[in-house]
Amino acid sequence: MPVRIVHSKQNARLKELRRALAHPPRSASVEALQLAGIEGPNLLKEALSAGLTIQTVFVAEGFECLFADMDLPAEIDVLRLPRELLDSALTTEAPQAIAALVQIPIWTIDNLLNNTTGASPLILVLAGLQDPGNLGTILRSAQAFGATGVISLPGTVSPWNPKALRASAGSAFRIPFVESTEVEWLARLRSAGLRVMTTAVHGAESATKTNLTGPTALLIGNEGNGVPNDLASRCDGAITIPTTGPVESLNAAVAASVLLYEASRQRAPQLNPSSAVRGKQ
């Protein structure tokens, strides 16, 4: 595994890392492969575990121990550079001493519809979700509770945003995430036999009384405005989360997580034993 020493801000790979972190990619295709920047040893380990292609690893001088126990493929280019030079490219307030450029996976709606858990498809559709922390949390919950993928509608933040990646704790590397237009996604899911449910605060059926065991898509709206009326009106029904306290609504990530848990609870008999969710004791 070659290790090259870098001392210039003008290094092409370092500039690429800086650009990827500042302007995260959204999606990739065979014709247009995209690179995302990741920060810290934990995300690098998760990316390797998920089978992502690592193009370049950047490590600060004296911190080579951070990847010593990682099984980095021999073809990966490792750049060693002064700590202050690496820090200048990173986005966190307390930068860690290692980062990488990874090739983002190519996913299609077919990846969301076809799964190996034995359960019916369970898809989240995000309509204009703007907070990267919320998105990362949703992706983490989606993996934990057996969702088969996420569809992003226009206005939704990129899952490769550094804050979203940290909040996802690596789930962004594993949960299929597809961008779609407001017209295409509904027709495609309906043709695949999914029941599309919007989320609402009032005038909706309780999630605990709604059958979520069949092929289902859950529409989650913007943090401030919820699901747009024109989208909600085209759904097959509306569900809500019953609450006992005087709270008008839940945070988008919390609401999505609760609904995913309820779907997982209902679907437990469908799952393979190895797919069951195991909580920490």
Stretch(es) of the chain classified as CATH 3.30.1330.30: 3-103
**Where do you find CATH 3.40.1280.10 in the chain?**
109-275
Mind listing the pLDDT tens digit for each residue in 237-251?
A: 999 998 888 777 789
Residue owning tokens 């605990």: 208
Mean pLDDT on 112-127: 86
* pTM for the predicted model, two decimal places: 0.90
Choose among 179, 133, 136, 135: nearest CA to 154: 179
- Third-level CATH fold of 109-275: Alpha/beta knot (3.40.1280)
Q: How far apart are CA 91 and CA 94, in angstroms?
A: 9
Q: Which residues contact 212 (CB under 8 A, 6 or more apart)?
A: 122, 259, 262, 263, 266, 267
Angle in degrees, CA 30, 32, 33, rounded to 5: 80
Per residue in 224-240, pLDDT (tens digit) is 888 999 999 999 999 99
Residue 280 has pLDDT above 70, yes or no: no
Separation of alpha carbons 217 and 198, rounded Å: 8
CATH number of 3-103: 3.30.1330.30
DSSP letter (8 states) at residue 199: E
How would residue 161 be classed by pLDDT, with cut points 50, 70 and 90? very high
**Ranges 2-6, 96-100, 155-159: which has the least confidence:** 2-6
